[in-house]
Amino acid sequence: GRYAGFIVNEWLFAADGRYLGWVDSRQQVWKADGYFLGEIVEQHYVLRRSNGVAPVRQTPRVPPVPAEPPSPPAARTNRLPRPGWIDPLEDLLRLPNQEELIGIWQQDHQQVELNADGEFVWTVSPTQNITGRWELRGPLLFLRRWQSEGALEAVPGYRIIEFNGDEVLLRWLAPDQRTLPFWLRRVGRNSDAF
């Protein structure tokens, strides 16, 4: 397929430097959430057998410091996967657009409602809601809380690692710490989404 990313040491990154997962010593590739993605084939391709049984999920690893993307390789002809194999990176690299994120998302007991007008409500507990504005910029999702004086708080964003329509894997881009990715799962669509 097309150029999709690069590996630095054992870490797998998208072409834009987004952390995707890691490669183990057996050349098996694991997604950031610890699920099997595929295997390295012919040194440059990640493929997965279409009828293969996925290995047991691995414990997610703390993401590395983001790597600076190298220059893309010279243009080459896109190749179709071998018969009986699929390209697992096609779905993994898909990023949402703004409309696809509108809705109600849940992680454990917390809920985030992203509205079409750019407002959000984050229900942290039955007695605590955080409100503000949300914005999607490429692979980054920003949730900025309203402060008491009516200004928006400047906060680190969340990097979108994976999106499949009903789930989004995010990692908080805290400036002073490395954080594990977490899933938000869609539990509903807003009535103002249509």
pLDDT for 91 equals: 80
Cα distance between residue 142 and residue 125, in whole Å: 21
Where do the CATH 2.40.128.370 domains begin and end in the chain? Answer: 98-193
* Model confidence pLDDT, tens digit, residues 69-106: 888 777 777 777 888 888 888 888 889 999 999 999 99
Q: Which CATH architecture has domain 98-193?
A: Beta Barrel (2.40)
Q: Which residue positions in the chain have pLDDT lower than 50?
A: 193-194
* Contact partners, residue 13, CB within 8 Å, separation at least 6: 5, 6, 7, 19, 20, 66, 67, 69
pLDDT for 25 equals: 94
